[in-house]
Amino acid sequence: MADNLKAVSILNKDDQIVIGGAGGFIGGALTRYFHEQGFTDIRAVDKKPLSQWYQIVPGVESLCLDLSDRWNCRRACEGAVEVYNLAADMGGMGFIERFRIECLRSVLINTHMLEEAYLAGARRYFFSSSACAYNTDLQKDPNVRALRESDAYPAMAERGYGWEKLFSEMVCREYWAERGLKTAIARFHNVYGPYGTWDGGREKAPAAICRKVIEAKDSGNLEIEIWGDGHQTRSFMYIDDCLEGIDQIMHCEDLIATPINLGSDVLMSINDLVSIAERIGGVTLKRTYDLDAPTGVAGRNSDNTFIKKILGWAPSLPLEEGMKRTYAWIEQQYIGRKAGRRTVS
Ligand code: NAD
């Protein structure tokens, strides 16, 4: 991995890095990533109480602030050299199809964070966009053509969540065009791994499937309910690849204010994902299908031509290996919760 680290070669170790959404899955992992590289002035911010953060990194300033409030953004960005905005009201399909208004309201976070990062004199700003920003008309078939960056327009993003991302991307682009703030915009495709949501309604497919397999084994009821017909397809990127990609995209001069895919290009059906989790769990389950459950688009994949061309890099950890690590962590949480220990789901 060492050759791919960029922040260390560009920043001083005591430059301040601010991470919004640091109580969540990717923000928490990013906080740890920078801390492990020796950065000494990291400010982690999330609206959740600290007791609900997935990771609290010792030596990092951890603040509980609602970043949809402009003055909280000012406090968060004070002294920042780089700002990473991972904060958003989001979840898996069950959440984003049901709570479109909450998803749209995340526009306040990005708008205020950008303005305050700019006023604080930050050098760079990172925005976590999503593949949900792509035109949904291009995603009606499980054997979908992989999405290129230009496929976001003409715009027909996913309702709620996707439109918020597309609009916020545009705000990032204009802060560069009009005010010279270097912004980076990555369109994530399904990120998964340990220290993320695995229960409670906001979890995404890889975590939900691992949990269901673990529950089935534990209860002895060897069945699994799958949302939709299981033929819907996606690609999945392990968290460590995502962190490396964020670092590379943020520090590339050729990618300023330029949306870019950050995801795996290995297309996988949900049925195949279940088979992987079954293999890891050493079990075969009877499958039932909830055809009324929220499933999102029929198929979605990342075209990685652009990232390979510009950065000579793309995510690499095989899904089976990433799922093994995720399954092991969720199993630990599951056992811990059953034993009465406090866990964060
Ligand atoms: P997450 O839900 O684990 O983390 C988001 C965090 O933002 C949460 O801890 C939440 O409390 C915090 N937050 C929400 N509103 C806030 C507010 N007003 N002020 C401060 N904090 C607030 O999600 P994640 O998977 O870590 O996603 C991080 C970013 O990446 C989000 O912008 C998300 O839209 C984007 N993204 C993620 C995926 C994925 O597969 N995980 C895919 C595409 C895009």
Report the pLDDT value the prediction gives residue 238, as an integer from 0 to 100.
Answer: 98
Q: Is the CB of 89 under 6 A from ligand 1?
A: yes
The residue contributing the CA closest to ligand 1 atom 8 is 24
Ligand 1: centre distance to CA 85 (Å): 9
Ligand 1: centre distance to CA 24 (Å): 6
Ligand 1: centre distance to CA 251 (Å): 21
Ligand 1 atom closest to Cα of residue 161 = 34
Topology match between the domains 7-192+236-262 and 205-234+267-299+318-338 = no
The domain made up of 7-192+236-262 has a fold known as Rossmann fold (3.40.50)
Q: Which of 69, 71, 75, 90 to mutate to test the pocket of ligand 1 (most atoms within 8 A of CB)?
A: 90
Q: Is the CB of 235 under 6 A from ligand 1?
A: no
Ligand 1 atom closest to Cα of residue 28 = 26
Backbone angles phi, psi at 6, to 5 degrees: -110, -40
The tens place of each residue's pLDDT in the chain, 345 residues long, gives: 445 668 778 999 999 999 999 999 999 999 999 999 999 999 999 999 999 999 999 999 999 999 999 999 999 999 999 999 999 998 777 788 889 999 999 999 999 999 999 999 999 999 999 999 999 999 899 988 999 999 999 999 999 999 999 999 999 999 999 999 999 999 999 999 999 999 988 888 999 999 999 999 999 999 999 999 999 999 999 999 999 999 999 999 999 999 999 999 999 999 999 999 999 999 999 999 999 888 888 999 999 999 999 999 999 999 999 999 999 999 999 999 999 887 876
pLDDT tens-digit profile of 272-302? 999 999 999 999 999 999 998 888 889 999 9
Report the pLDDT value the prediction gives residue 201, as an integer from 0 to 100.
Answer: 84
Q: Is the CB of 237 under 6 A from ligand 1?
A: no
**Which residues have a catalytic role annotated?**
161
Ligand 1 atom closest to Cα of residue 197 = 3
pLDDT tens-digit profile of 126-159? 999 999 999 999 989 998 899 999 999 999 999 9
The domain made up of 205-234+267-299+318-338 has a fold known as UDP-galactose 4-epimerase; domain 1 (3.90.25)
Ligand 1: centre distance to CA 86 (Å): 5
- Pair type for strands 237-238 and 191-192: parallel
Domain ranges of the chain: 7-192+236-262, 205-234+267-299+318-338
Report the pLDDT value the prediction gives residue 296, as an integer from 0 to 100.
Answer: 84
Ligand 1: centre distance to CA 322 (Å): 20
Q: What is the pTM of this model?
A: 0.96
Report the pLDDT value the prediction gives residue 241, as an integer from 0 to 100.
Answer: 98
